[in-house]
Copies of this chain bind each other. A is one copy, B any other.
């Protein structure tokens, strides 16, 4: 049986344009994976009558209703109240949720204000969706042929609650299973990937193949529908191989989260350590390499050398090199990487020096030009990266840092660095 879901986001901040409704995007992606149709999203403010009206309209045209936001103490839990009323349900006190709220505040070491306990009131007979990422529990129930799920609004909480609480609930409603594998790339845009894969995409029905532009790189999701997970994965496998064969060295992994993860695993597997020397990226490469647990096994340390004095003093970049070529030069990038290797005592050292903007540097180097260098025992290679002169500071830094990490991946997998 095919299901239709409708999303209702509750939050005046959405109607004021303070934030975009990214919860709806995230949930829609998940529902699309499950083969559940979505025909409408609605956004409504923190107003009980209007929430009620939105619910009444939605239940007339969908059999799964998912609300986001309007839980928690600051909005008087208005979504829960309005939805419970719409379905003729009483709110009842849920002691385990109250206990979780107490514990959460105790961990933080802050006193619980009374308004927080309102969050422990839930519609009678519902399934409570424990919230391990915030204080407001989610709720799921079925009434009058409609499945209702209520999730908190803050995007991270909502994403975790959807993935770990709502998805398992929804999976039970669909027949067969949907499985997917995601081929993660770096260094190729969505439209370029789509152009290369178009014929394959058009020829496929089950599994399907769809590109997604993510800030960290284009993802290709292969999704199959089958009676069992094993069968779905069997359908996916040959398509995964085809995608890899077409996108070649742009593929950084399958079902991996990030380039950082790929780099850390490669370094661990090979028993190598890494360090960083950063100018324009200002610590971002070190931050990315230490984002994941277990990074201390491979990451030794980093130097953020924002001034020439620090480049000389901590990284031993020769003064005449700086004077002759300037801080933004292949020569200085190489000296930074080699200096970091010796100062930090690591096997590989990654360096970045460039112009993040908003202005070109005083030697006329354009915004967005970054020299990346990777030093290893017995070698060092410099790779220029150009984000484009129109790129914003944040993008220059981010793309340069990732391009730097990609040098580690390429070096450790025997690919040419540039």
Contacts and interface: CB of A to CB of B under 8 A. Distances in A.
User: What range describes how many residues of A lie at the interface?
Assistant: 35 or more
Interface string A22-64: 1011111111100000111111110100100010010000000
Given A22-B20, A45-B39, A390-B107, A290 B302 contact: no
Given A57-B57, A115-B195, A307 B300 contact: yes
B26 A24 contact: no
The 8 closest A-B pairs by CB, nearest first: A282-B290, A283-B286, A17-B28, A17-B29, A283-B283, A301-B310, A302-B304, A41-B43
A15, A107, A313 interface centre (most CB from chain B within 10 Å): A15
A282 B300 contact: no
Contacts of A25: 14, 17-21
Contacts of A74: 190-191, 194, 211, 213
Given A40-B44, A290-B282, A291-B282, A73 B191 contact: yes
Interface string A367-393: 000000000000000000010111101
A27 B31 CA distance: 27
Nearest to A134: B213
A116 B356 CA distance: 28
A305 interface: yes
Given A21-B24, A282-B289, 5 more contacts: A72-B191, A116-B191, A283-B287, A283-B302, A313-B344
B42 A41 contact: yes
A299 B306 contact: yes
A303 interface: yes
